[in-house]
Amino acid sequence: MAGAKNRRQGAATASSELKGQDNEAMQGANGNEKVRTTDTAAADESQENIFLLWPNIIGYSRIVLAVASLYYMPLHPRTCSLLYTVSCLLDALDGYAARYFEQSTRFGAVLDMVTDRCTTACLLVFLSSAFPRWAILFQGLISLDLASHYIHMYATLAMAGSESSHKNVDASRSRILSLYYTNKTVLFVACALNEAFFIALYLLSFSSPLLSPSLLQTVPEPAAEALHQGAQVNSSLLKLIFANPHSAGALELARANKMDSFWPWVLAGVSFPVMALKQIINVVQLVKACKWLAEGDLKARKAMGLPRKRKTA
């Protein structure tokens, strides 16, 4: 009886041990399945490369076109204008692609803004050299454009949080900025005609009615007369006149009288009012962003108990 009882207890113990081993095996299998599921999810997430999303690829194309336009900018106005214009028009396409493919990203927004600021600044730098009398104006426009957008974006991040977009401007803070950023038609027209005005000025630099007399002092009279009448200037002639054919004077000589100025003047006249409005918006954006940051500073200083009242003797 005792032996049978011991055998039954031993069998029960062995059975419980086997069940425990089975449970451990099942738990291990389930654990491995969870690990594999987690690894699969992580692998799926890692497959999406933010840098290769369609809006960002369009952004890279804009940069390539802008660099190509800069290469042709000194002496090839038509090619440069075409490349620069296509680069600017793609600015609207990348936003559409971001909405269509649901691929809006912070990196894409920053890439878009930086590309806009840099391409405009490069064009204005060229205009400063093409129209030296107005260089300080172009330098001021570069500074205003960069400062207003940088401070506006910084104020948005600091005051509204990192999840907020710089384009989400409440009408109570600024009606003109709210209309500018929330209405896609207004934004596109303002940016397009702003760039069109500077492109028109660029084209006008290739339609000078006369050359500076100092550039023609070493040119024989027949050659000077031909140049004034619009004769093409090739690289061999530039080498004869200038020690460096890429100097400022040589480039001015090569650019002169290459284009009819009628259509550039028309484009400049049509786009000038919008360009002026765009600069006013930049000023408003700069002032509003500075005031917004100052409001945040006041709240932070009050929270710290500043300014402290000093004891008077």
Q: Which residues are part of the catalytic machinery?
A: 116
**Whole-number Å distance between alpha carbons of 185 and 171:** 17
Region of 48 please: left (phi>0), alpha (psi -120 to 50) or beta: beta
| C-alpha R_g of the chain | 33
User: How is residue 283 written in tokens?
Assistant: 């000023």
Return the ∠ at Cα 232 (arms to 64 and 258), rounded to 5°.
Answer: 60
- Is the Cβ–Cβ distance between 98 and 55 less than 8 Å? yes
User: What one-letter code names the amino acid at 269?
Assistant: G
Residue positions counted in the chain: 313
**What is the DSSP track for 168-214?**
---TTT-HHHHHHHH-HHHHHHHHHHHHHHHHHHHHHTT--SS--GG
User: How is residue 252 written in tokens?
Assistant: 């001015």
Percentages helix, strand, coil for the chain, rounded to the nearest 5? 80, 0, 20
Distance of CA 200 to the CA centre of its chain: 22
- Is the Cβ–Cβ distance between 289 and 151 less than 8 Å? yes
- Is the Cβ–Cβ distance between 283 and 148 less than 8 Å? yes
**Whole-number Å distance between alpha carbons of 291 and 288:** 5
Q: Which residue has the tokens 């730098």?
A: 125
Torsion sign across C-alpha atoms 274, 276, 280, 285: positive
